[in-house]
Amino acid sequence: MSSPLPVGVLISGWGANLQALMNACALPGFPARIAIVISNNPDARGLRIAKEAGIPAYAINHRDYPDRLAFEAAVDAMLREAEVELVCLAGFMRLLTEQFVNSWPDKLVNVHPSLLPLYKGMDTHKRAIADGQEYAGCTIHFVRPAMDDGPIIVQGRVKILPGDTPNALSTRVLEKELLCFPLALKLIAEGRVTVKDEKVVISGELPKEDWLLIGN
Ligand code: GAR
């Protein structure tokens, strides 16, 4: 078997998605390993859980840098030093410049709490409820320079219930995030995911679940 794909994870906060990726990577035979965790927020709980699991984890506080490019240069240097081949944005709440995104072509993956292309940006659940949508969900996608844009790998769909609040809905969507992100990582690390004409193509058998949507 080939050696597991070295992955860098960028976070800003609690780290539920990071924990799900860590759990997956700890499974015997999982095709990826987390080589480094970086948080722009030094107080992120995610940094603590990574360190406790023995994963190299560092804060690079964006406030310590004069501008976005200088901050990103520091992040980039640390990721390259750790020799990562894929970067997962797991609740990373900084926008990345075109320069940074283009320097990791199809090697940057994000989780966003909506069924993209609907509800890019913030307050996704509140907006989905206000619009009377039948479904909310999450998307794991390759990152492009435009915010919350890029070829979709997998999506997790959740029915919006009568009387749903953004909080209640976000809890149910997060459950799907924690399943979808490890699945996307596994498929990528197995070398089964390619991007063709800005659409994701996945080879081989895929899990069939009524809540799971695959590709664009
Ligand atoms: C997750 O719900 C993720 O989808 C969202 O932040 C949360 C992070 O939680 N990401 C974004 O909104 C990015 N646009 P976590 O730190 O507990 O994984």
pLDDT tens digits for range 128-137: 999 999 999 9
- Ligand 1 pocket test, pick from 140, 177, 180, 181 with the greatest ligand atom count within 8 Å of Cβ, gives 177
**Tokens representing 24?**
């997956």
Does position 1 have pLDDT exceeding 70, yes or no? no
Instruction: Count Cβ atoms below 10 Å from residue 194 Cβ, excluding itself.
Output: 13
| Ligand 1, atom 14: closest residue by C-alpha | 112
The sign of the dihedral angle between the CA atoms of 20, 29, 33, 111 is negative
The stretch 172-183 carries a mean pLDDT of 98
SS3 category, 43: coil
- Alpha-carbon distance values, 169 to 97, 101, 119 (Å): 30, 30, 14
pTM here is: 0.97
Give CA–CA dist 213/137, Å, rounded: 10
**Tokens representing 31?**
């095709």
Per the listing, tokens 């360190």 go with 51
What are residue 158's phi and psi, to 5 degrees? Answer: -135, 135
Ligand 1 contact, 86 CB (< 6 A): no
Ligand 1 contact, 90 CB (< 6 A): yes
Peptide bond into 66 cis (omega under 30): no
Residues in the chain: 216
**Tokens representing 38?**
């970086």
The reported pLDDT for the residue numbered 215 is 84
The stretch 26-49 carries a mean pLDDT of 98
Domain boundaries, the chain: 5-214
Ligand 1 mean position to 46 CA, how many Å? Answer: 12
| Ligand 1, atom 3: closest residue by C-alpha | 91
Give CA–CA dist 51/64, Å, rounded: 22
The reported pLDDT for the residue numbered 199 is 97
Give CA–CA dist 192/202, Å, rounded: 5
Q: What DSSP character marks residue 172?
A: H
Ligand 1 mean position to 167 CA, how many Å? Answer: 13
Average of per-residue pLDDT values in the chain: 97
Does position 2 have pLDDT exceeding 90, yes or no? no
CATH class of 5-214: alpha beta
pLDDT band at 91 (very low <50, low <70, confident <90, very high): very high
Q: What is the CA radius of gyration of the chain?
A: 17
Give CA–CA dist 91/77, Å, rounded: 20
Q: What DSSP character marks residue 163?
A: T
